[in-house]
Chain A
Amino acid sequence: DQQVKQNSPSLSVQEGRISILNCDYTNSMFDYFLWYKKYPAEGPTFLISISSIKDKNEDGRFTVFLNKSAKHLSLHIVPSQPGDSAVYFCAAGSGGYQKVTFGIGTKLQVIP
């Protein structure tokens, strides 16, 4: 049973446009959410996070939106750049949250 779902395995976007990556979760106990980015042959790297007490968190070109009632979060990248081409993992945790559950990832391709 996947508690964190990323239903789009891949996404292609033109350079300069907005990329929107989506994530759904089923566990109401999750209260902390993260996005990680992964390049080939490397480990995932932390990108941005959001606590359940917020509905938006922004860091430069990256913004994460959280809709708790829908159990949905999204990552917006504006403007998209070719270097953003990677696999993006959504992750969620609760409490001390050291135990984090990951989605299966969405592969983003930004076309120059």
Chain B
Amino acid sequence: DAGVIQSPRHEVTEMGQEVTLRCKPISGHDYLFWYRQTMMRGLELLIYFNNNVPIDDSGMPEDRFSAKMPNASFSTLKIQPSEPRDSAVYFCASSSQGRSPLHFGNGTRLTVT
């Protein structure tokens, strides 16, 4: 099993540009999560999907953030326009039904200058 795959690993962009982060969950997992990690706030849940349907997006900081899951094997997190305060590490995670632990990808380090 390849695990959760995220791309790109690093993204450097200028303020105002659109940024798209990508995630491929573990095959067979029903849940997909997007987290953001910062020094001050740790790991924050942004949004999660169940069977490709967004269930809770209350953690999405602003309308500049959007996430989609067009099928069971792919999800995107988009920031448009990006701002310097969006600089963080963004993690995607997936899990199966029930109280199963999250499996995280290796993250995308986003730097907005």
Residues of A whose CB lies within 8 Å of any CB of B are 32, 34, 36, 41-46, 49, 89, 93, 96-105
Partner of A43, one of B31, B41, B56, B104: B104
- How many angstroms between the C-alpha atoms of A41 and B45 in the bound complex? 19
Most A C-beta atoms less than 10 A away, residue of B35, B43, B44, B95: B43
Asked if A46 and B41 make an inter-chain contact with CB atoms under 8 angstroms apart, the answer reads no
Closest beta carbon of chain B to A24's beta carbon, Å:
14
Bound: A102/B95 CA distance, A: 16
Chain A residues contacting B105 (CB-CB under 8 Å) are 43
B7 within 8 A of A: no
- The reply to whether B56 and A46 contact each other, CB–CB distance below 8 Å, is no
- In the bound complex, how far is the Cα of B106 from the Cα of A46, in angstroms? 13
Out of B42, B44, B104, which one reaches A105, CB within 8 Å?
B42
Is residue B34 contacting chain A, with contact meaning CB distance below 8 A?
A: no
User: Chain B interface mostly helix, strand, loop or mixed?
Assistant: strand
Distance between Cα atoms of A103 and B42 in the complex (Å): 6
Chain A, residue nearest B31 (CB): A98
CA distance A43 to B37 in the complex (A): 10
Residues of A within 8 A of B56 (CB): 99
- The reply to whether A43 and B101 contact each other, CB–CB distance below 8 Å, is no
Is there a chain A Cβ closer than 8 Å to B73's Cβ? no
List the A side residues contacting B102 at CB < 8 Å.
36, 44, 46, 100
With beta carbons under 8 angstroms apart, the residue of B4, B91, B95 that contacts A98 is B95
